[in-house]
Amino acid sequence: MRALVLIDGQHVLAVVQATIEQLPARFPGTTAVAAALVGPGEKMDGRAAAALSIPVVTGVVAGDGTGDGDGTGDMNGGRAAAVATVLSAIDTFRPDVVVDLSDEPVLDARARMGLAAHVLFRGLPYVGADFRFDPPPRPVVATKPSVAVIGAGKRTGKTAVAAHMARLLAAAGQPPVIVAMGRGGPPEPELVDPATFDLSVEGLLALAGQGRHAASDHLEDALMAGVATVGTRRCGGGLAGAPMGSTYAAGVELANLRPEPMLVLEGSGTAVPPVHADATVCVVPADADLELVTGYLGAYRVLLSDLIVVTMSEPTFASSGAGVLEEGVRSVAPGVRVVHTVFRPFPLEPISGRRAFFVTTARASAIDLMVEHLEREHGGKVVGTSPHLADRRSLAADLDAMADADVLLVELKAAAVDLAVPVARERGMEVVFCDNRLVPTGGDGTFDEVALATAELARERFTLRTEKSLTA
């Protein structure tokens, strides 16, 4: 194992040299081939470091050692310089592992995590005295071009984005198969073809009656996008997005058997699909914690991405603002494309002239906008709402107090089928499922334009990768 060691200039030359010589004993099979100086050189500057037994990349180093990084992942000033130095050393010496011999104050815990994101993105382990980060395994499983849709957390809008992309591709004559994973997914990968699978209210109630999660993401995708989907399950999620366990690879293998020419690989929460994707879209709400999105190992997801979709970008919802989020994202990945969007409810059946009770997972602060849109664009009269679709106790209370209505308008998520739908049926109400449709509000073009360009990028990369494998 060829190791690149990180030194901070705060240790004297003899101490660093002795530690480098001891690396094979500490990490069997590891030999240091180069060092990257990431500190200001209080005890060892670049000239002194040249006396080490291995080459040293100095570049520009991390300021004055006073901890100028703000932890948000962009590593302003010296932190960004430290990243640049390490990446330059990786490019020059092609190590197999990065071993961190530094300490505070040059690299504090936040700066190290941000640096780890960049190292993992280069496909290398990042190791220190009492820690180790390994790149999440993402083997090539898909036999056709693929676009991953990942997110900065739960309820960011990944499913809506994946479904919207699927509709775009289908309209362009390139329908995909969506492969989804969820905490409540089926025991084995399940193919759902909307042409043959019963996605009616009765069909979903029958699934719930069998003890199934009848609002799982792959069912929602199939209903909202009208394309074939595969449902899988996962448990847990690592700091860089790897699930502890999943059936996802088997789900992709099932999707490979379909005739559709493309795959959309949908993540779950912060978990990233544990297979290779040819291009990646990351969904981030405008009010997300910037430090978590662009700092720590959140930066790894940003680095993976070709497109960042900022959702819920109404200024009233976003404490930091979509513009501030975009600036932070670009500081981590300068070349990434960014689009700003909002969600608007879209009933799958007409509600014009009817009284509707609207149930959603949207935050309470968004309800007034949703209601105004439903009444203006779809002609319904919303007589009550509940933002508690994912909170069963509160939802039950809201349904119990529900005003007289003709229609239950509900998203296919969380407790929709096993709680909300039966209550509506008992009260003689019709059930209409409601999609969340993307509306562009700014950025590097409309979502439709940039999403199709991202899909084309995936095709180009797939073709290039395939040609290389055939000639290897």
**Listed range (47-56, 180-189, 274-283, 423-432) with the worst mean pLDDT:** 47-56
Q: Determine the pLDDT at residue 204.
A: 97
Task: Give SS3 for 280.
Answer: strand
Tokens for 173, please give them. Answer: 């004559």
How far is it, in rounded angstroms, from Cα 115 to Cα 107? 9
How far is it, in rounded angstroms, from Cα 46 to Cα 62? 13
Mean pLDDT of the chain: 92
Percent of the chain surpassing pLDDT 90: 83
* Residue type, position 449, single letter: E
pTM of the predicted model, to two decimals? 0.92
* Half-sphere exposure at residue 58, Cβ-oriented, CA atoms within 13 angstroms: 12
How far is it, in rounded angstroms, from Cα 76 to Cα 375? 47
Residue-wise burial string across 431-458, b where 16 or more C-beta atoms lie within 10 A, e elsewhere: bbbbbbbbebbebeebbbebbbbbbebb
Task: Give SS3 for 134.
Answer: coil
Q: Is the pLDDT of residue 340 over 50?
A: yes
Q: Is the pLDDT of residue 49 over 90?
A: no
Q: For residue 79, name the pLDDT band (cuts at 50, 70, 90).
A: confident
pLDDT one-digit tens code per residue, 173-193: 999 999 999 998 999 999 999
Please provide the size of the chain in residues.
472
Within the chain, what is the greatest distance between any pair of CA atoms? Answer: 83
pLDDT one-digit tens code per residue, 142-168: 999 999 999 999 989 999 999 999 999
Q: Which residue has tokens 């366990």?
A: 245
